[in-house]
A and B are shown apart, each in its own frame.
Chain A
């Protein structure tokens, strides 16, 4: 039974989590509604593929909501779920690095058909609707400059300047020392300044 008078849309994250722990489905949906865009945006900018970003965002929410009992209310819910999202994105990028496509096909492909399917076909690929959308959303100068950053720098700069999180919270989310977070952000800003210098001239 729900706590009397808890209006989910205006309740704090902690209150909504308590309702979710009581088995109230609407509370789960409220948490998804609040964080789907920030979480999806972070992961999308990390992996730069819409389909993969959707899958990874789903994975983030499923992990968080299935483990809602283990969430400790003394920490911010947003920090907790962003931590899960960042870990999911970084793990995916590491797996993707190991599975880099080559012109001759994936090193993991076992049959001639699989090799051909995984090889880059130069010149005969037509952009899909999804790829067109990705190019439109992430094709701008600043987005391409962000894509050029190392994943660690990218997540720090996005959490700092797009999500507006304080340094201490980012350090907590990413399990990094505060000094390391500051260094990553300063270096990321330096690289972005250089990448975008031609725009200022």
Chain B
């Protein structure tokens, strides 16, 4: 095993030393090794020099020049969006109610005529669907399920488990990767 005292400090360890988090046994090496001490001192001086470099300012009026080129867009507020949607739904409904109240005879005729026709069409549709369903090859099996509560319970349970599993898999696949940036206060 390599003697931790004998080996010189790695660049990562020099970083740790600058940050004040170098391991104790490596501090011991630093105290005893002139080369590492020279490097560490040089790095510390360099870090200090870099840390005290001044910030420069752009020419006066920089902010104005930037703002002259920026397009300021006002984002629609949620309340405004909700109000627009509500108006879009309520206004036609209100107009419909108002028309119905002012034209009761016309409305009555329409409902009678349309209602009768719609009812006939609906009945024909249900009859057609029913006869199609009865003719399906899997219909006796489905009917058998309803006649056996235990079998129905089993199928329902299996379907629920399969659905829940599918949702979990989908959520996992759609999860965004966690950012690698360490959480630092702004």
Residues in A lying within 8 Å of B, measured CB to CB: 1, 12-14, 21-23, 25, 28-29, 32-33, 36-38, 40-41, 44, 53-54, 57-58, 61-62, 65-66, 69, 74-79, 137, 142-143, 157-158, 161-162, 164, 166, 168-169, 171-172, 178, 182, 186, 189, 192-193, 196, 200
Contact = CB atoms under 8 A, between A and B. Distances in A.
Nearest to A30: B63
Interface string B12-25: 10110000000000
B169 to A, nearest CB: 25
B15 A172 contact: no
Interface in B41-73: 42-43, 45-47, 49-51, 53-59, 62-63, 65-67, 69-73
Contacts, number: 117
A193 B46 contact: yes
B127 interface: no
B180 interface: yes
Contacts of B49: 142, 196
Contact of A62 (B11, B58, B70, B182): B70
Nearest to B181: A172
B57 A36 contact: yes
Interface in B114-132: none
A142 B53 CA distance: 9
A200 B45 contact: yes
A169 B184 contact: yes
Contact of A76 (B14, B65, B186): B186
A54 B58 contact: yes
A137 B56 contact: yes
Given A22-B74, A169-B181, A189-B46, 5 more contacts: A29-B63, A40-B57, A61-B66, A142-B50, A172-B179
B181 A58 contact: no
Interface of B: 11-12, 14-15, 39, 42-43, 45-47, 49-51, 53-59, 62-63, 65-67, 69-75, 77, 179-182, 184, 186
A66 B74 CA distance: 12
Contacts of A69: 73, 75
A23 B74 CA distance: 4
Contacts of A29: 63, 67
B165 to A, nearest CB: 29
Given A12-B186, A22-B75, A41-B55, A193 B42 contact: yes
Contact of B186 (A22, A44, A77, A172): A77
B180 to A, nearest CB: 6
Given A14-B186, A54-B58, A62 B46 contact: no
Given A41-B55, A157-B50, A58 B62 contact: yes
